[in-house]
Amino acid sequence: MAETLSIPAGSSKDEMYRALLPQIAAVIEGVADPIANMANIAAILKEAFDFYWVGFYRTTAPENLVLGPFQGPLACVAIPFSKGVCGAAARKQQTIIVPDVDKFPGHIACSSLSRSEIVVPLVAGGATQLVLDVDSDRLDAFDETDKLYLEEIVGLLRRENFEAA
Ligand code: SME
């Protein structure tokens, strides 16, 4: 397994994601433990993009998310499906991009420095297994490029056996 990331200098966001995807796939290939894979994905995204916060919330009880592997400042531990951007993405089973968190009703402010956010759910067997949450300290940091590639990255976890966690 490669232990350092290869990130082409001066790349566009699209190029960076395209360079990272095979590296992420290689890092998690053959690793059955989803927590280990979530931890490495969070580390890779944080290192590559220097996002303010990047991490996972897992559905550990019906309609309830609990903090999983992450990189960044201390975060809220429990988020019901009825609350926040994470809860909304888990409930609607679709990616949500929030250009300005102050304008999202019910946004949960784990940190006042977070200004925009994207949350990508992983749905398997009709149920939301987890969400990937990425926060930026800049307004309007996320777009369709992030959605496209982060959905692909989260999709890599689909093959893993979450029941084994
Ligand atoms: N802002 C999220 C909560 C999680 S933190 O950003 C790490 C939300 O509204 O669901």
Distance (Å) from CA 164 to ligand 1 centroid: 26
- Total domain count, the chain: 1
* Domain presence at residue 7: no
pLDDT tens, the chain, 165 aa long:
557 888 877 889 999 999 999 999 999 998 999 999 999 999 999 999 999 999 999 999 999 999 999 999 999 999 999 999 999 999 999 999 999 999 999 999 988 899 999 999 999 999 999 999 999 999 999 999 999 999 999 999 986 544 444
53-61 and 116-124 strand pairing: unpaired
From 107, 108, 113, 114, the mutation candidate for ligand 1 (largest count of ligand atoms within 8 A of CB) is 108
Distance (Å) from CA 76 to ligand 1 centroid: 7
Which of 39, 95, 46 lies closest to 67 in space, CA to CA?
39
Tell me which residue range forms the domain holding 43. 13-161
Name the closest-CA residue to atom 7, ligand 1: 75
* Domain presence at residue 103: yes
b/e map of 78-109 (b: 16 or more CB within 10 Å)? ebebebbbbbbbbeeeebbbbbebeebeebbe
Which residues make beta-bridge pairs with 98? 117
Tokens of 61: 């009880």
* Domain presence at residue 5: no
Tokens of 159: 């093959």
Q: What CATH number should be reported for the domain holding residue 69?
A: 3.30.450.40
Amino acid identity of 133?
Answer: D
Which of 92, 90, 13, 14 lies closest to 56 in space, CA to CA?
90
Give the pLDDT score at 5.
84
CB of 53 shorter than 6 A to ligand 1: yes
53-61 and 127-136 strand pairing: antiparallel
Give the pLDDT score at 2.
59
* Domain presence at residue 46: yes
Give the pLDDT score at 158.
87
* Domain presence at residue 3: no
* Domain presence at residue 6: no
* Domain presence at residue 126: yes
* Domain presence at residue 8: no
Q: Does the reported pTM lie above 0.85?
A: yes
